[in-house]
Structure 1
């Protein structure tokens, strides 16, 4: 857990595919907090698009739990993509889906009201995982991680989640948030 896979400023040399676990792409802020840009889970790849540019990683990749990750040299991955059309289309589809949700998250971050910001995040996550019944989706993040994802202070997240529970917008069961 919290094992660094690669660091901000390193040159991309590998394609990474998560066999088991989850990985967050983060940036350390000047005030000592962490910004989480995205979280990839079992079956997903991460940071692969940078293999097609001459840029360094603008973030860190950190394992959120014990992970099994396939690591393929970047040149071999690019050769494979050039030679096969179907995997390239799959990669385009995956990235289109990911970009869609990133744009939704950018919109979410532009919301000033903390309750609306968290509600929108929870709604998007619930929709992504096709959960529709009230309180059927367990938010998979700690309050600290929610703070890092939403750019809200930890205290604000804690207070807001308590208000949401009081307003019957979420349920808290054994410390876990259900939306």
Structure 2
């Protein structure tokens, strides 16, 4: 997202979060810009039955938690390290200063937020009306084409567990496992050493 060299010039700090460590909590006010330096971070909520719903998963060079930073509201979800992760943390005032001085970065962040809104609208539609196989392929294709910009068949390794896919798409994990196997039999995905490729 924001080039690392540029973040460093604005005196950003780097903090290491251990696996399952909370970065911020649902209900906290947004005070910082966060960007993954290494590792994996998820944003999630839990419903009244303690079922997890994953809002998003973020990898190296991806930012997370920006919308509340722009509109002075509380976070609608938690952010947690899925594995040991290093995260750039830039205070809100410095973040605004960086955007004021780098309009191209401001545009890229706006574009990224628009893509996330589009994705959430697509996923909401898929969850409410489509079969599991359609939901899963739509999610994989969003990652492949819109996030990682890949076109070659089976070029994208899906870095999500079956449980994470089920939490994102509102499916039972057993349904995800069964459906992915069916998709492999149809030639839509490939499974190599338990990893899924699209």
Please, what TM-score do these two structures have when normalized by structure 1?
0.89
Change (3 A) 1:136 1:174: same
Alignment partner, residue 22 of structure 1: 40
Question: In the TM superposition, what is the alpha-carbon distance from 1:83 to its structure 2 partner?
Answer: 4.9
| Structure 2 spans left out of the alignment, 5+ residues | 1-18
Change (3 A) 1:83 1:29: same
Distance 2:38 2:85 in 1: 5
Select 1:121's aligned residue among 129, 132, 139: 139
Per mean C-alpha deviation after superposition, the further-off stretch among 133-142 and 95-104 is 95-104
Q: CA RMSD in A?
A: 1.9
Per mean C-alpha deviation after superposition, the further-off stretch among 68-77 and 123-132 is 123-132
Please, what TM-score do these two structures have when normalized by structure 2?
0.81
1:61 aligns with 2:61: no
Alignment partner, residue 128 of structure 2: 110
Deviations along 1:120-170, one digit per CA (max 9) or x if unpaired, are: 112222222233233222111110111111110111111111222222322
Select 1:47's aligned residue among 28, 41, 65: 65
Structure 1 runs of 4+ with >4 Å offset: none
Distance 2:193 2:60 in 1: 25
Distance 1:120 1:147 in 2: 14
How many pairs align?
179
1:8 aligns with 2:38: no
Alignment partner, residue 170 of structure 1: 189
SS state at 1:16 partner: strand
SS state at 1:68 partner: strand
